[in-house]
Structure 1
Amino acid sequence: MSLHHAPLTRAFEETTLRIAIADISPLREVRPDVRKSVKYGQIAASIREVGIIEPPVVVRDPLDSGRFRLLDGHLRLDILISQGVAEVVCLIATEDEAFTYNRRVSRIAIIQEHKMIMKAVKQGVSEERLARALNVNIASIRKKLNLLDGICPEAAELLRDKHVALNAFVQLRKLKPMRQIIAAEMMVAMNRYSLGYVKSIVAATPPDQLVQGKRQTDLGLSPEQLDVMTKEAARLDLEFRSVEQSYGADHLDLVLASAYVTSLLENAKVVGHLARHHADLLNEFQKIAELQKAA
């Protein structure tokens, strides 16, 4: 029996496009406090020194063929505007997948920064020039260049847009690939990317899942405490797998229920009835509707 698979849809058009910045509509404004941040200053210095390395991502506006909506690169675009630049080369997404970009993040994730630096080096930019552009020392540039050495691609993909502590990758290298993936999944599930959290995962890792010759992280724990941590980590892994299996269906149910509640609140008679007889319930429904709109 032969299996036929639907052809994969391209995520981006085949070529980049130079676009007038005036024709690009951002999805959000850059706040004044973000413009004063260290990271914003680093990006601005990098653009002045070596130009745009990672093109912004836009999608064609379905209502106006001459305009584009910005999906990713709000800080870069804001900096280009402040520098008086009129045009920018962009990647053109084939679909408006804006929800896949974290619109609330105002700084570059460490893996994205690594890729930016790698691309700059391949284009002939020296480490010294990059260090000046990013206002860091050369040792930091080299650490970021080698960020993913010893990290399996699957774990790197899970963490690609997360703000993971730089030295956390040193700890992840102590794990074998499958354990790296599990560790990355746990970090995403718990939304914790600190060095201390990754150290605790490494410390609770059974010896057979560690890279040969790598010792477990010293957290000042006794062998008995490490044994308890290992067993607890195994239990959490099982719970995580259980939740992961039901997440898709639960999330779909939540989305459908939220959409239904939102549609109910568009009916004036329903809102009036709830206001008169179930004010507390109406308040909760309105909170759900606000979350649905913000999602």
Structure 2
Amino acid sequence: MKQIKIAFNLEPLYIPIEQILVTKFLAEHNRYARKYKQIKASIIEVGIIEPLSIFEIQSEKQMYSLLDGHMRFEILKELGFTEVPCLMSTDDESYTHNKQTNRLATVQEHLMIRKAIKRGVNEERLAKTLNIDVRYIKSKVNLLNGVCPEVIELLKDREISQQVFFILKKMKPIRQLECVEIMLSVNNLTVNYAKALLVATNPNFLVTPSKKSNKNGTSSDAIKKIENDIAHLHLQYKSIEQDHAQTTLNLVLAIGYLRKMISNNNIKNYLAKYHSDLLENFESLIQLDSFNSK
């Protein structure tokens, strides 16, 4: 069995700031961004959680190249840190770490907040740490209450609006699962699409059936038909996508054959004399292929 090479040493090192060289400079406007303020507030409140990623410069003694964490590095300098925790990379590729990093999914964020509160961190401190309104924390804590486990499992790695969960909670579990499967099949996890599915839901599958009449005159059957049509179109698209590679290969082979055929003067003269329209189309295809290849 082939061994997997570990990209970083597991134990963090504390490196003096002056021994770290940045590989890119942080734009001035980033210092006023919400993300910058959140990270700064987090470091002030609970300290540095994620170490920086560095690589030792072979030509320079005790000097290191910063691979990932430029924003944290600038904040630490601003706060007066003299040493910073770092993970030593075994590869000097500055994009490797970022490629293997997934942005925090909505469900994972909820679980992290719940875990922090369970450990004794109160909501006010969390809000201060993340530089956000405490009401946002409260909404995150209760995010998955009323959402069926199967839906949570399907969405656990997705970064989506929490409003989608609030819409799903208005439906019974079986309808929640059906809607999420439709949303995933068409790769549309937006709030508007979730709202459309809610409108198309039979009142029997709602937690609290709506008593409001449809002011727009659009029946739920019509919306259901649109929903099914979109799902059908997505399946057709996926089928075309799967055949695209083979179709492209066939086209390349066909154009190659046409190019070779037209290069024969006898064939070209015959087509020009008796089938000029075909020759014109063949030459157009060859020219178009040559243009796209540039």
TM-score range, shorter chain: 0.5 to 0.7
Cα deviation for residue 199 of structure 1 reads: 1.5
Using structure 2 for the length normalisation, give the TM-score. Answer: 0.57
Q: In 2 relative to 1, CA 197–13 (structure 1 residues): closer, same or farther, beyond 3 Å?
A: same
Among residues 161, 166, 170, which one is paired with 1:170 in the alignment?
166
Cα deviation for residue 201 of structure 1 reads: 3.3
Among residues 25, 30, 36, which one is paired with 1:34 in the alignment?
30
Q: Give unmatched runs, 5+ long, in structure 2.
A: 249-286
Cα deviation for residue 232 of structure 1 reads: 1.1
Residue in 2 aligned with 1:127? 123
Amino acid at match of 1:232: I
Q: Report matched runs for 1:140-155 at 5 Å.
A: 140-149=136-145, 150=147, 151-155=151-155
Cα deviation for residue 49 of structure 1 reads: 0.9
Among residues 210, 221, 225, which one is paired with 1:231 in the alignment?
225
Among residues 79, 82, 99, which one is paired with 2:78 in the alignment?
82
**3-state DSSP class of the match of 2:85?**
strand
1:148-201 per-residue CA deviation (whole Å, 9 max, x = no partner) reads 4425122131x2xx3x33323211333523532432454xx45x74x3343223
Q: Report matched runs for 1:35-184 at 5 Å.
A: 35-53=31-49, 55=50, 58=53, 70=67, 75-85=71-81, 86-88=83-85, 96=96, 98-99=98-99, 101=101, 110=106, 113-149=109-145, 150=147, 151-157=151-157, 159=158, 162=159, 164-173=160-169, 174=171, 175-184=175-184
Say if 1:56 and 1:91, in contact at 8 Å, map to a contact too.
no
Q: Give unmatched runs, 5+ long, in structure 1.
A: 1-5, 255-277, 287-295
Query: Number of residue pairs matched?
Result: 238
**3-state DSSP class of the match of 1:88?**
strand
Separation in 1, partners of 2:14, 2:239: 43
**3-state DSSP class of the match of 2:48?**
coil
Cα deviation for residue 37 of structure 1 reads: 2.2
Say if 2:52 and 2:85, in contact at 8 Å, map to a contact too.
no
Higher mean displacement: 12-21 or 238-247: 12-21
Task: Pick the structure with greater CA Rg.
Answer: 2
Higher mean displacement: 90-99 or 41-50: 90-99
Residue in 2 aligned with 1:259? none
Separation in 1, partners of 2:78, 2:179: 45
Among residues 235, 239, 251, which one is paired with 1:241 in the alignment?
235
**3-state DSSP class of the match of 1:167?**
helix
